[in-house]
Amino acid sequence: MLYTTFDSPIGQLLAAGDGGALEVLSMQGGRTKTAIGPDWQEDPDPFVDVIEQLAAYFAGERREFDLPLAAAGSPFQQQVWRELRQIPYGETISYGELARRVGPPATPRNVGWANGRNPIAVIVPCHRVIGADGSLTGYGGGLDRKRLLLELEGGVLSLA
């Protein structure tokens, strides 16, 4: 696995992958930070596009990412993560709405579980999922980072 770390407005980020696709984007200051494996090799070159697109996102100049992703997860997790990528920039949905979009047998609890195991922060926008009452809940990077990302996007609650 190749990796690099870099600074961002939400703290240090770790990007990792096979050199062709991004497998991990982790907030190293959050409670779910990714540990660098003993056989990983530091190489920033494969992550130039990741860093540039994130810089444009944080500058308010990019709303969507165009990067090859290869997150490892169960079929259910993959389905939840695909649905997360369908939440438009600047919008939020509840865990219940996410479960409805995923479909049976999804429940707010199990989509929350899958959401919390999203290995590609920001780009797979798990920060756009909030409590049914509009509260900021359950974010591995910490609620301050979730608030910052939603404020950056101008996110508002939209329970479709």
pLDDT tens by residue, 2-57: 999 999 999 999 999 999 999 999 998 877 789 999 999 999 999 999 999 999 99
Q: Is 126 a catalytic residue?
A: yes
Of 54 and 104, more confident: 54
Would you say the pTM of this structure is higher than 0.75?
Answer: yes
**Widest distance between CA atoms in the chain:** 45
**Helix 75-84 and helix 95-102: axis angle, to 10°?**
120
d(CA 103, CA 155): 24
Q: Which structural domains are found in the chain, ordered by start?
A: 2-58 (3.30.160.70), 75-157 (1.10.10.10)
In this prediction, residue 105 carries a pLDDT of 86
Which token pair is 93? 């949905």
Rounded to the nearest integer, the mean pLDDT of the chain is 92
In this prediction, residue 33 carries a pLDDT of 80
Confidence of residue 159 (pLDDT cuts 50, 70, 90): very low
Tell which residue, 1, 7, 25, has the closest CA to residue 15.
Answer: 25
- Which of 126, 149, 150, 152 is catalytic? The answer is 126
In this prediction, residue 136 carries a pLDDT of 86
